[in-house]
Amino acid sequence: MKTIGLPKALLYYHYHILWKTFFDALKVPYVESKKTTREMLEKGKEKCIDETCLSMKIFLGHIASIKNQCDCILIPRIYSIEKKEQVCTNFNALYDLVRNVYPKVSIINYNVDVKHHHSEENGFIHLGKQLGFSKKESKNAYKIAKKKEKEHNQLLEEQGRKKMHSKKTKILLLGHPYNLEDDLIGKRIISYLKDKDIEIIYSYEVPKEKVNTCVQKISPKVHWTMNKELLASFIYFKDHVDGTILLTAFPCGPDSLTNEMILRKKGKNKVLLLTFEDLNSDVAILTRLESFLDMLKGGIHL
Amino acid sequence: MKAYLGIDIGSISTKGVIIDEENRILASSYLWTEGNPIQAVKNVLNELEKKVKDKDIKILGVGTTGSARKLIGTMLGACSIKNEITAHAIGTLSKYPSVRTILEIGGQDSKIILLEDGIVTDYAMNTLCAAGTGSFLSSQAKRLGIDVKDFGPIALTSKHPTNIAARCTVFAESDLVHKIQMGYEKKDIIAGLCYSVASNYLNNVAKGKKIVGQILFQGGVSKNIGVKKAFEDLLKTEVLVDADGHLMGALGSAILAKKNSKNEVFAFSLKNSKFETAGIECKGCPNHCEVIVIKKDGRKIDSWGNRCEKGSLIH
């Protein structure tokens, strides 16, 4: 049986439960890449053009770190997961991009494009077929995986709800999961905030069924599915937290649009925008973070 | 008499003040950092010591701010190491209790602080771009062959400031060269530069912020009367510049030191110790963290920058 490599970046953070449960159900072995290191980022930078976002550079670095430990790497092509919407164009291009950057790496792929009638389920059936499983076997494994994913999401939502009532200073950390969870990006902020005994609510803890109604309060039509969750989480949590930190990787197209929407509609809520680039120093981020915390909960007086 | 020391170590200049318990400035010092914050602080301490030599004072707390706050704070055993936003807000509030907006343009960064009822409610700093900061002005002064100190008075003599593209420093610079070659008068170009700094600031840093009075303009660039006038013209309201505007960060950190004082007496003789710093690239893991080690008289007193376990942001 082939061993599948899962690079711990970008879509991994959206789909890792689904992927891993699916492969477990079919008894397909897989390996995950390690935590992001600066070395990975350097490798990734060498491989891509300057204009790509930091998260993409990290992703390409992960591929380099894992390519010799597996037989093929899972890279889906995701175009749309809602009918009239789209996800970041990087996710459309990921498969082709990696194929060109790493011509020798073997890729296993599935396609999700709801707009053009390619459902996620069909994608996974196709994925199973490439691994030698029947339609029935794959369908079954997908069902199990989907159930696990739902349970996981409910767990996250429950966590979010609980934290909303915490007595500590609360901060909504808003950003794509692949930025929040990355060791070079969000983890640095998270450990700093935790050290200051701050309750952190993550944007991905917003109840999924609230996303469409909440997002209406900011804009009736948001084209970018993944950013809808970010906007909705702001509306859902904003009055229950002391402040919100927008965490973004430079240069992210959809984020530049939705961050601006939040900043313009924040009203009295306190919002800090932190942009991550592949710079070496933490000092600039630290200054902004520190002064933001000073401002919360009544601020510092004379 | 009890006193407190505040030091603001910026990229361009280092400021130090000694205050009494009523937040009054007893002595101050303002020197260039010249790329050597440790030496600059020693010089500042020297000056301050001379100024308060006749007074019977005991310094019971040290506060630092500015981009080298951590380094100098460690060196001096500071009881308060605070970011510039908080320090500037506190310092300004002590002199202007009803201030609502602080415009600050320094050598390397610029920021806006909004206050309401004596509390910081919002702030912004220039992001990845250093457009329109003091270093831009001084490099253009060099290009025009004029001392940056004369910029303000010359700008005021201009009746028709040249329009210089303000969005981005790079474009502003090429536009400036173009205007010089076109034959515009120097004073008009200089006035245009002052306007471009002010409008750049309002378009980038203060974007979307409601600027209401009382407005204070601080930082090194506030000494440039041409930029002050440009702000007043663009905002159509009065903008105040305090004579001690450059000391507000140091004043604020002295006040914060007073609040956090551990009642340990600070001795000026510390400046005679030999401090060394070194940047080491840690090879322990693929992260290659840049670790800063600080030594006092040959002995290591602290290090930071390591991302392992605790992470450098924690230190």
Do B125 and B184 sit in the same domain of this protein? yes
- Cβ proximity of A212 and A82 under 8 Å: no
Q: Does A277 touch chain B (CB under 8 A)?
A: yes
**Minimum mean pLDDT among A7-11, A130-134, A146-150, B116-120: which range?**
B116-120
Separation CA B94–CA A144 (nearest Å): 64
Task: Report the number of distinct structural domains present in chain A.
Answer: 2
Task: Search chain A and give the residue with CA nearest B253.
Answer: A302
Look up the ipTM and state it.
Answer: 0.75
Do B286 and B309 sit in the same domain of this protein? yes
Do A41 and A175 sit in the same domain of this protein? no
* Chain B hits for A275, Cβ within 8 Å: 127-128
CATH number at residue A112: 3.40.50
Do B84 and B136 sit in the same domain of this protein? no
- Cβ proximity of A271 and A262 under 8 Å: yes
The C-alpha of B89 sits at a distance from chain A's nearest C-alpha, in angstroms, of: 9
Task: Report the number of distinct structural domains present in chain B.
Answer: 3
Do B128 and B211 sit in the same domain of this protein? yes
Do A98 and A177 sit in the same domain of this protein? no
Separation CA A216–CA B215 (nearest Å): 37
* Cβ–Cβ below 8 Å for B313 and A301: no
Answer with the one of A80, A114, A147 that is the final residue of a domain. A147
Q: Give the domain range for residue B237.
A: 97-241
The C-alpha of A40 sits at a distance from chain B's nearest C-alpha, in angstroms, of: 8
The one-letter amino acid code at A112 reads V
Which region, left, alpha or beta, applies to residue A157 given φ > 0 means left and ψ of -120 to 50 means alpha? alpha
φ, ψ at B131 (rounded to 5°): -60, 140
Kindly give the pairing relationship between strand B215-218 and strand A111-113: unpaired
Do B221 and B288 sit in the same domain of this protein? no
Do B143 and B230 sit in the same domain of this protein? yes
Residue range B224-261, pLDDT digits in tens:
999 999 999 999 999 999 998 889 999 999 999 999 88
* Chain A hits for B84, Cβ within 8 Å: 287, 291
Domain assignment present for residue A275? The answer is yes
Task: Search chain A and give the residue with CA nearest B120.
Answer: A295
Do B283 and B300 sit in the same domain of this protein? yes
Answer with the one of B195, B222, B241 that is the final residue of a domain. B241
Residue range A106-122, pLDDT digits in tens:
999 999 999 999 999 99
Q: How many inter-chain contacts (A to B, CB under 8 Å) are there?
A: 85
Tokens coding A293: 């915390």
Do B228 and B135 sit in the same domain of this protein? yes
Using pLDDT thresholds of 50, 70 and 90, give the confidence band for residue B273. confident
DSSP A214: H
- Cβ proximity of B168 and B131 under 8 Å: yes
Q: Give the domain range for residue A63.
A: 4-147
* Cβ–Cβ below 8 Å for B90 and A300: yes
Do A182 and A123 sit in the same domain of this protein? no
Estimate to the nearest angstrom the gap between the alpha carbon of A102 and the chain centroid.
23
pLDDT for res B10: 85
